[in-house]
Amino acid sequence: MTAAAGPVARGRFITLEGGEGAGKSTQLALLARFLEGAGVPLLRTREPGGSTGAEAIRTLILTGAVDRWDARTEALLVAAARRDHVERTIRPALEQGTWVLCDRFFDSTMAYQGIAGGVDPAAITWLRGFATDGLTPDLTILLDLPVEIGIARTAARADGRQRFELREPAFHERLRQAFQAIAAAEPARCRLLDAREGVDALAAAISALVATRFDLPPA
């Protein structure tokens, strides 16, 4: 007689955060390669976006003139996109035992619309709970980069610059300070890494961090 299968272990939820030009998308792809090599069932996703409805909202948020939306409107749009993303993509994957790697999550809302954008952080925190029902990453990796380097990187992109990349340097400086403050406030969840490191060195540091945190074989 075959024994009944036990409950599926919940997948791990890892987010990458940082200012413009920090290299999140590149590092997420490299971390995904490491995890897949370790045999981890994996889903890669992003915010805003990650579900059909959220991708439609992403277009609204990231395109158009810099002043298309004020920060409060942006926060509401992001919260709507996040709700759809969590319910249709992230939570089902985690419940099936799949690990989720996400390029941005609620820390970006606190940084962009809250601390840097001027929306009351208490309102951002309320929206976070309303959209996610308390879903929190197991690990958040924040990539820290001097503003002038990030601006230079985004200016060199062949696909053009998005609304937030066109904001004034003072906004990006507030943004960097916001992510640093988030990392300092939640050291158990967040790790701040220097994004001035070369791509391979930074990827090795991230893989080592994840392997140690979740008891995986080293890269």
Question: Does 22 appear as a known binding residue?
Answer: yes
Backbone angles phi, psi at 102, to 5 degrees: -125, 130
Closest CA to 188 of 135, 139, 134: 139
Question: Does 50 appear as a known binding residue?
Answer: no
Contact 164, 157 (CB under 8 A): no
Question: Does 114 appear as a known binding residue?
Answer: no
Tell me the three state secondary structure of residue 164.
Answer: helix
Tokens of 12: 């791990």
Segment holding 73, helix H or strand E: helix 71-85
Contact 217, 38 (CB under 8 A): yes
Question: Does 6 appear as a known binding residue?
Answer: no
Question: Does 20 appear as a known binding residue?
Answer: yes
Q: How far apart are CA 189 and CA 136, in angstroms?
A: 9
- In the beta sheet, which residues pair with residue 190? 140
Question: Does 53 appear as a known binding residue?
Answer: no
Which residues fall in the annotated binding site for ATP? 18-25
Which residues fall in the annotated binding site? 18-25
